[in-house]
Amino acid sequence: MPRDIQLCLVYRDMWQSSGKYMPNASQLVKVADPIIKMKCWDRIETNGGGFEQIQLLAGENPNEVVRKWTKPFNEVGIKTQMLERGLNALSMSPVSKDVRRLMFDVKSKQGTNISRSFDGLNDSRNLELSIKYANASGMISQSCLCITHSEIHSVEYYIGLAKKLIKLGTQEIAIKDMAGIGRPSSLGKIVKGIKNFSSSTIVQYHGHSGPGFSVASSLEVARAGADIIDVSMEPLSWGTTHADLLTIHELLRDDGFKVKDYDKKAYMEVKQLTQEFIDESLGYYINQKNRLMNSLLISSGLPGGMMGSLMSDLEKSHISINKWLKKNNSEEIKIDLLFSMLSDEVNEIWPLMGYPPLVTPYSQYVKNVALVNVLNKIKGKPRWSLIDDNTWDMLLGKSGKLPGSLGKEIIELASDLKKDFYSDNPQNLVEESLDNNRKEMKERGWDTGLDDEELLEYSLHKTQYIDYKSGKAKKSFTGDLNKRKNDSNKTEEPSKNQYEIIEVGTEKYKVEYSLSDESFSEDIKRIDGNPVYSPIEGKFVLTKGSNERPVKVNDVVNKGDVLCYIESMKVMNAIKSEFSGKILKICFRDGEDVYDDDVLFIIKK
């Protein structure tokens, strides 16, 4: 007898896996009606992940957007779902219990029916409160298995994790294959194991297209008993997003499943409106490489959306390392060699770092450490010389329990640096914060909003919320968008830089670089002091938060004191003084770009 299977449109993730920004409230309300008229959807992914933060960056109020966007689906009985990050809630770092609890209450009242919760380390402790708070708020609790591929991430490993989450009270399980590297047969066995344990537990499959497995995986998990398949739509299907509705619909129907028919005219209207949003503004933030599939991702295991940022990081590092080689009278290297070295290093250090699933933010952590290690190897320096605080938190257990054991050299390095490992619940490290945040908002004269929803945004994304309230965010977004539009209309002038073409799988990347020698300026040479060099390229900032006091010229510092931070590859790297003394010169201003081996400070011992 044919079995029913449901479809979910991941409209939020379609955008977030393609580029930086999302449609605003008026655009989302406009597209909601034809989505409903398609008549094939049981669920729509409306918000969560970076949705709220992205709205703030564009100068929009995320609470107003979510309420307006979920309302039409609520009215016709289509379930809405969000994505949340467990211990991190909707942030990139851990948040307190009271903020997590408020988030579920607010999002439920705003019209979100299902909370898809994931932990980047697959640590069930970090999802326990998500399950509890989602159920208490009246939402459906759905917990994720973050899929990756290694010797320890077996079928049995994932079935065991699903059993833990079901026993904790989750109502549904999501197979979250964020890089699309789950092997179809293995995913089918995982679903079958879950259904054998709890046949009433709903299983939903979410697989990105990246390396090309997702279509076969959709069929395998459906045959094994999955209830719902996530799909995307043109013009934002395939590539680093998801398989298209038309393909998956025909695939399932041909295999004998009962799938709701879709209205082709409404499909084309949704496609047309989505393309309009791209053409109006949002396309200026979409890397066209993200529209392509790449089988190279099978071996690296890095999420598809990272390939663009990885190549960008590599371009900058290539400039830095060749400047250093030239200054040291050594032969420069080609970027294809640098890329090969980076790929090899990722494969080598991932097991040493405990096999963290390669999902945000842990995929960035592994890639960042690998790139710094490669640069140090070229310079004849040891590995592991620059590990940012967030990565150390992961390694030490402060973000949760790693799936695998750390390598001996990581353990020895932690001991040398007098770092302590942590085995208790990571939530215990985060103090309650709502009362203090409420006080801060009152001092600023700001209302906490309906159901304290504005307090939630302030607590989750304080810096972005302040910029939104001041108007700075809207001004910055508008200015940047206008610049991008103007730049796209200019006739491209011949580049004065040299370039190479690097082939990655079936893709080709044009990588420009300059070989100009930007050695120390004359004024730096004349200062009688000891230079502090940058160990990495990135953006120079003196502090990473408003609660820190920046160092100044004539300040006396001790060896080991933090002088500044370099924001590089999505993390903040603390730069510490190598000796004690007085600061004679600060060589860069906040926000300026620095390259590897640039002089940051002059200090007189």
Q: Tell me, what's the pLDDT at 547? A: 65
Of 144, 153, 130, the residue nearest 174 (C-alpha): 144
Q: Tell me, what's the pLDDT at 592? A: 82
pLDDT in tens, 160-196: 999 999 999 999 999 999 889 999 999 999 999 999 9
User: Which one has a higher pLDDT value, 551 or 288?
Assistant: 551
Q: Tell me, what's the pLDDT at 301? A: 62
Q: Tell me, what's the pLDDT at 76? A: 98
Q: What angle do CA 331, 337, 339 make, to 5 degrees?
A: 130
Query: 109-113, 380-384, 510-514, 561-565: lowest mean pLDDT where?
Result: 510-514
User: Which one has a higher pLDDT value, 174 or 588?
Assistant: 174
Residue the block writes with tokens 């304080």: 462
Residue 213 C-beta-side C-alpha neighbours within 13 Å: 28
Does the pTM surpass 0.85? The reply is no
* The most confident of 112-121, 319-328, 531-540, by mean pLDDT: 112-121
Q: Tell me, what's the pLDDT at 478? A: 94
Contact 196, 203 (CB under 8 A): no
Q: Tell me, what's the pLDDT at 140? A: 98
Give the Cβ contact number of residue 333 at 10 Å. Answer: 14
What is d(CA 519, CA 524) in angstroms, rounded to the nearest whole number? Answer: 10
* The most confident of 268-277, 506-515, 533-542, by mean pLDDT: 268-277
Banded model confidence at residue 71, pLDDT cuts 50, 70, 90:
very high
Residue the block writes with tokens 């610049």: 483
Mean local confidence (pLDDT), 424-449: 96
Residue 173 C-beta-side C-alpha neighbours within 13 Å: 33
Which CATH number is correct for 6-291, 3.20.20.70, 3.40.50.300, 3.40.50.620, 3.40.640.10?
A: 3.20.20.70
Domain spans of the chain?
Answer: 6-291, 297-429, 522-604
Banded model confidence at residue 502, pLDDT cuts 50, 70, 90:
very low
Q: Given strand 581-586, what is the order of strands in its sheet?
A: 530-533, 599-604, 581-586, 556-557
- Checking if the pLDDT of 487 tops 90, the result is no
What is d(CA 601, CA 579) in angstroms, rounded to the nearest whole number? Answer: 12
What is d(CA 184, CA 205) in angstroms, rounded to the nearest whole number? Answer: 11
What is d(CA 596, CA 386) in angstroms, rounded to the nearest whole number? Answer: 12
Task: Please report, for residues 260, 285, 481, the alpha-carbon distance to residue 493 in angstroms, rounded to integers and kept in the order given.
Answer: 52, 22, 21
Q: Tell me, what's the pLDDT at 305? A: 47
Q: Tell me, what's the pLDDT at 516? A: 41
Q: Tell me, what's the pLDDT at 507? A: 45
Task: Please report, for residues 56, 249, 351, the alpha-carbon distance to residue 388 in angstroms, rounded to integers and kept in the order given.
Answer: 26, 45, 18
- DSSP code, position 19: B
Q: Provide the pairing of β-strand 43-48 with 6-9.
A: parallel
Mean local confidence (pLDDT), 287-305: 65
Percent of the chain with pLDDT over 90: 61
> Which residues touch 556 (CB under 8 Å, ≥6 apart)?
580, 581, 582, 583
Q: Tell me, what's the pLDDT at 119? A: 95
Write out the two tokens for 498: 């040299």
Task: Please report, for residues 319, 326, 371, 380, 385, the alpha-carbon distance to residue 377 in angstroms, rounded to integers and kept in the order given.
Answer: 16, 16, 10, 5, 11
Q: Tell me, what's the pLDDT at 306? A: 52
Query: 105-119, 274-288, 427-441, 495-509: lowest mean pLDDT where?
Result: 495-509
Of 55, 137, 86, 90, the residue nearest 460 (C-alpha): 90
- Checking if the pLDDT of 512 tops 90, the result is no
Residue 125 C-beta-side C-alpha neighbours within 13 Å: 13
Banded model confidence at residue 147, pLDDT cuts 50, 70, 90:
very high
pLDDT in tens, 218-267: 999 999 999 999 999 999 999 889 999 999 999 999 999 999 999 999 99
Of 307, 335, 370, the residue nearest 510 (C-alpha): 335
Residue 235: cis peptide before it, omega within 30 degrees of 0: yes
In one letter, which amino acid is 319?
I
Contact 386, 372 (CB under 8 A): yes
Which CATH number is correct for 522-604, 1.10.760.10, 3.40.228.10, 2.40.50.100, 3.40.630.10?
A: 2.40.50.100
Q: Tell me, what's the pLDDT at 520? A: 43
Q: Tell me, what's the pLDDT at 360? A: 73
pLDDT in tens, 318-377: 887 888 888 888 888 888 888 788 878 888 999 999 999 877 778 888 888 988 898 888
Q: Tell me, what's the pLDDT at 268? A: 97
Average pLDDT, the chain: 88
What is d(CA 113, CA 70) in angstroms, rounded to the nearest whole number? Answer: 9
Bridge-partner residues for 353, per DSSP?
406
pLDDT in tens, 542-574: 887 656 788 999 999 998 899 998 887 667 788
Q: Tell me, what's the pLDDT at 375? A: 85
User: Which one has a higher pLDDT value, 511 or 390?
Assistant: 390
Task: Please report, for residues 81, 281, 358, 602, the alpha-carbon distance to residue 173 in angstroms, rounded to integers and kept in the order given.
Answer: 13, 36, 19, 55
User: Which one has a higher pLDDT value, 83 or 343?
Assistant: 83
Query: 208-212, 303-307, 529-533: lowest mean pLDDT where?
Result: 303-307
Q: Tell me, what's the pLDDT at 307? A: 52
Percent of the chain with pLDDT over 70: 89
Give the Cβ contact number of residue 258 at 10 Å. Answer: 11
User: Which one has a higher pLDDT value, 83 or 316?
Assistant: 83
User: Which one has a higher pLDDT value, 497 or 369?
Assistant: 369
Q: H or E element: which one contains 478? A: helix 472-489
What is d(CA 217, CA 184) in angstroms, rounded to the nearest whole number? Answer: 4
Mean local confidence (pLDDT), 46-73: 95
φ/ψ bin of 305: left (φ > 0), alpha (ψ from -120 to 50), beta (otherwise): alpha
Banded model confidence at residue 289, pLDDT cuts 50, 70, 90:
low
